[in-house]
């Protein structure tokens, strides 16, 4: 067998297909320009916002799916690698890496983002859940905790995701909030790309002979 990286050149990476923001197929052809009158400008802005929020919702689902598969792929890869090394009297090519600590800080930068967080709290704070069923209380408590985590870590996507799940009405759609959503789409897309480019993800979709060849090449020295 030649270079093992050749194993991946013709493979499909995901049954859902790739989402590429720069792809013209997905690009919003509506040009937002302040040359439009205010009413028309707001209409176009709202239209773009609605398209982007659906793209973001799709990407969140795909990312959750990818991370779930990747967790299994990583666990299987490590387990099988140790078994391969044990059978061949080799040292496993792993080292302990301490996880990086993320500094938690509030980076909700715009008034719209802060207002969105307040709307979430109004709908999900434990003090606001009296009279709901246990199932609804559990669901909204989970969403509340996710939003708080998003605020504390500066993860705007978490807050936006919760807002969309709660079907919160975005009262004031500004260019800034649209830009923030586009940034989150690009960031999420990059995370998905990184997962699918990982060796363990690609190894997971190989047949047994290809998987063993990868192990052989990783332990050759």
- pLDDT in 10s for each residue of the chain, 221 residues: 556 566 565 554 444 444 444 444 444 444 555 556 788 888 888 899 889 988 998 999 999 999 999 999 999 999 999 999 999 898 877 765 555 555 444 455 567 778 888 889 999 998 888 888 888 899 999 999 988 988 888 888 888 888 888 888 777 788 888 888 899 999 999 999 999 999 999 999 999 999 999 999 998 86
User: Between the CA of residue 129 and those of 124, 126, 140, what are the distances in Å?
Assistant: 7, 5, 8
What long-range pairs does 163-171 form, CB within 8 A, spacing at least 24?
163/116, 163/119, 163/120, 164/53, 164/56, 164/57, 166/120, 166/123, 166/124, 168/116, 168/119, 168/120, 168/123, 170/49, 170/112, 170/116, 171/115
Co-location of 166 and 69 in the same domain? no
Would 212 be classed as within a structural domain?
A: yes
pTM over 0.95: no
Which candidate, 220, 196, 219, places its Cα nearest to that of 94? 219
Q: Which pair of structure tokens corresponds to residue 88? A: 């061949």
Same domain flag for 68 and 157 = no
Residue 165 shares a structural domain with residue 116: yes
For residue 98, tell me if it sits in a domain. no
Is position 119 within any domain?
A: yes
């Amino acid at each position: 067998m030649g270079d093992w990286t050749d194993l991946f050149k013709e493979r499909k990476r995901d049954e859902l297909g790739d989402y590429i923001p720069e792809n013209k197929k997905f690009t919003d052809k509506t040009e937002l320009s302040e040359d439009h009158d205010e009413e028309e400008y707001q209409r176009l802005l709202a239209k773009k916002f609605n398209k982007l929020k659906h793209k973001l919702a799709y990407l969140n689902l795909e990312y959750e799916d990818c991370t779930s598969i990747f967790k299994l792929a990583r666990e299987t890869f490590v387990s099988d690698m140790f078994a391969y090394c044990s059978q061949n009297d080799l040292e496993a090519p792993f080292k302990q890496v301490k996880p990086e600590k993320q500094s938690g800080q509030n980076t909700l930068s715009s008034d719209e983002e802060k207002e969105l967080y307040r709307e979430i709290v109004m709908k999900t704070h434990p003090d606001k859940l009296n009279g709901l069923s246990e199932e609804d209380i559990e669901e909204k408590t989970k969403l509340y905790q996710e939003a708080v985590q998003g605020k504390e870590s500066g993860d705007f996507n978490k807050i936006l995701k919760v807002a969309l799940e709660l079907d919160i009405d975005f009262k004031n759609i500004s260019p800034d909030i649209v830009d923030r959503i586009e940034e989150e789409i690009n960031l999420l897309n990059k995370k998905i790309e990184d997962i699918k480019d990982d060796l363990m993800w690609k190894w997971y979709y190989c047949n047994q002979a290809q998987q063993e060849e990868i192990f052989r090449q990783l332990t050759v020295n």
